[in-house]
């Protein structure tokens, strides 16, 4: 709605028609006497338009001068509504109470929005704001935005800049996080390379340190693969930051089950319901019975122009996707296809970062379902750097035969 439409609403509007006579002369007389006319439309010898409630009082005089027949039409706008409901004092009292209530609620803080977070948990920011007195229901005038910014910046180590803006009953907290440089590995701190999981060593490339295993060895979780303690020919030892790439093979298993009796859902309709939200109270804006049967729901909340800035009032729309549930019996072949698809998706999740060297699948019928099992031979880098603690005994300092460190 434009500003002009709002002004016309409060001034009141009248739709009228004229016919016969000199229509152009009537329009010119309206312009000369500053009688506003809009939405004019001519059909043959009839002209229909709108004017203000005040301007309509001049129309009979102008129509007589132009020699046209005036036919007043429907009236609308605020003055007409006030005249129609002037005896309903309860209605005006209620409207006044609502207006006063909105003004009172607008003095309090009801919404706290946090923007710009990437790595800082939102719960941490809200807890800090709570301690600083920024919470729902507090008076806006009791909040010193600049002081909150200063103290919040001190509390959040990862924040580089903080801004707190009070907009009506909302507090918008904008946070810009620090750009953390990538963690640099301190080569002066001695480390071992240990096995992150059991496996069979298939590839060994040592960048620094003393290898303690060789290709073909089986290792357990936590076993040292490359030692950070090295000895020279004279038996003197020194510590280094061991590094290396150690690939190992391991046996993995996965299993999926697909029932022959499949439950399926088909969309049978969409129902939309709207709610008015005042604080934590949700008022339905519809008439209807509770939903029956299976459905999926999507909810979205929207502010009400002007009103949401003054008071904690919003409206929500919920879309309900009504579903029909049915059962369908599938055969072993279709169950196998579904099981293979599920197993492929499971492989991507469970074997991320691994290379599958071999795959053996076994499918069988088991009662009311089809079972598909997979046995895999996978290869991955199992090396994990672990800091050498003071006084820690490091077994296996002697290098295994046939291996040497890569300088």
The confidence band for 338, taking pLDDT boundaries of 50, 70 and 90, is very high
The confidence band for 91, taking pLDDT boundaries of 50, 70 and 90, is low
- SS3 letters across 33-81: CCCCCEEEEEECCEEEEEEECCHHHHHHHHHHHHCCEEEEEEEECHHHH
pLDDT at 92: 67
Question: pTM for the complete prediction?
Answer: 0.49
pLDDT greater than 80 at residue 404: no
The confidence band for 390, taking pLDDT boundaries of 50, 70 and 90, is low
pLDDT greater than 50 at residue 396: no
Residue 226: which of 196, 250, 195, 199 has the closest Cα? 195
pLDDT at 397: 44
Give pLDDT tens digits for 49-68.
898 888 888 888 888 888 88
Dist. CA 123–CA 125, nearest whole Å: 5
pLDDT at 402: 46
pLDDT at 74: 85
DSSP state of 141: G
pLDDT at 184: 65
Classify 130 as helix, strand or coil.
helix
Q: Where in the chain is the domain with CATH 3.10.20.310?
A: 87-184
Residue 370: which of 346, 334, 345, 341 has the closest Cα? 334
Give pLDDT tens digits for 207-224.
998 999 999 999 999 999
In this structure, the number of other CB atoms found within 10 A of the CB of residue 256 comes to 20
Dist. CA 159–CA 155, nearest whole Å: 9
Which range, 17-26, 339-348, 394-403, has the best average confidence (pLDDT)?
Answer: 339-348
Query: Mean pLDDT score of the chain, rounded to an integer?
Result: 85
pLDDT greater than 80 at residue 277: yes
Tokens at 194, concatenated: 């240990």
State how beta strands 229-231 and 237-239 pair: antiparallel
User: For the chain, how big is the Rg over CA atoms in Å?
Assistant: 39
Give pLDDT tens digits for 94-113.
777 777 777 777 788 888 88
Category of 193 on φ-ψ map: left (φ > 0), alpha (ψ -120 to 50) or beta: beta
Give pLDDT tens digits for 28-49.
888 888 888 888 888 878 888 8
Dist. CA 129–CA 114, nearest whole Å: 11
Query: Topology of domain 87-184, per CATH?
Result: Ubiquitin-like (UB roll) (3.10.20)
Please indicate whether residue 148 or residue 407 has the higher confidence score (pLDDT).
148
Sign of CA dihedral 338, 340, 342, 344: negative
pLDDT at 127: 92
pLDDT greater than 70 at residue 16: yes
pLDDT at 405: 44
In the chain, what percentage of residues exceed pLDDT 70? 91
Q: Where in the chain is the domain with CATH 3.30.70.260?
A: 3-82
Residue with tokens 């002081």: 147
pLDDT greater than 50 at residue 395: no
Residue with tokens 């301007």: 55
Residue with tokens 């704001």: 129
The domain over range 3-82 is classified in CATH as 3.90.226.10: no
């Amino acid at each position: 709605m434009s500003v002009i439409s709002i002004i016309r609403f409060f001034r009141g509007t009248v739709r009228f028609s004229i016919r016969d006579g000199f229509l152009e002369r009537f329009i010119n007389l309206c312009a000369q006497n500053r009688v506003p006319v809009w939405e004019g439309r001519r059909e043959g010898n009839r002209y229909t338009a709108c004017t203000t409630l005040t301007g309509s009082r001049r129309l009979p005089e102008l129509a007589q001068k132009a020699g046209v027949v005036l036919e007043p039409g429907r009236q609308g706008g605020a003055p007409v509504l006030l005249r129609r409901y002037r005896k309903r004092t309860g209605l005006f009292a209620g409207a006044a109470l609502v207006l006063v209530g909105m003004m009172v609620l607008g003095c309090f803080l009801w919404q706290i929005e946090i923007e710009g977070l990437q790595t800082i948990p939102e719960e941490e920011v809200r807890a800090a704001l709570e301690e600083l007195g920024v919470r729902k229901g507090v008076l806006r005038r009791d909040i010193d935005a600049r002081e909150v910014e200063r103290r919040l910046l001190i509390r959040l180590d990862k924040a580089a800049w903080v801004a707190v803006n009070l907009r009506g009953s909302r507090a918008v907290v904008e946070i810009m996080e620090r750009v953390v440089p990538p963690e640099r590995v301190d080569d002066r701190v001695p480390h071992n390379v240990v096995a992150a999981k059991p496996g069979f060593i298939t590839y060994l490339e040592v960048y620094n340190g003393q290898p303690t295993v060789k290709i073909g060895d089986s290792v357990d979780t936590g076993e040292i693969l490359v030692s950070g303690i090295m000895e020279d020919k004279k038996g003197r030892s020194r510590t280094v930051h061991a590094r290396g790439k150690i690939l190992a093979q391991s046996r993995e298993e996965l299993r999926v089950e697909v029932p022959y009796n499949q439950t399926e859902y088909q969309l049978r309709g969409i129902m939309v319901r709207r709610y008015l939200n005042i604080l934590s109270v949700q008022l339905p804006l519809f008439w209807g019975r509770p939903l029956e049967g299976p459905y999926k729901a999507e909810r979205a909340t929207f502010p009400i122009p002007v009103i949401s800035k003054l008071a904690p009032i919003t409206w929500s729309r919920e879309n309900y996707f009504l579903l029909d549930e049915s059962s369908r019996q599938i055969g072993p072949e279709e169950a196998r296809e579904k099981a293979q698809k599920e197993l492929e998706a499971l492989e991507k999740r469970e074997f991320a970062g691994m290379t599958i060297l071999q795959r053996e699948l076994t499918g069988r019928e088991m009662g009311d379902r089809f079972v598909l099992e997979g046995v895999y031979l996978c290869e991955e880098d199992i090396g994990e750097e672990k800091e050498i603690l003071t006084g820690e005994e490091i077994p296996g300092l002697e290098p295994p035969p046939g291996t040497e460190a890569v300088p």
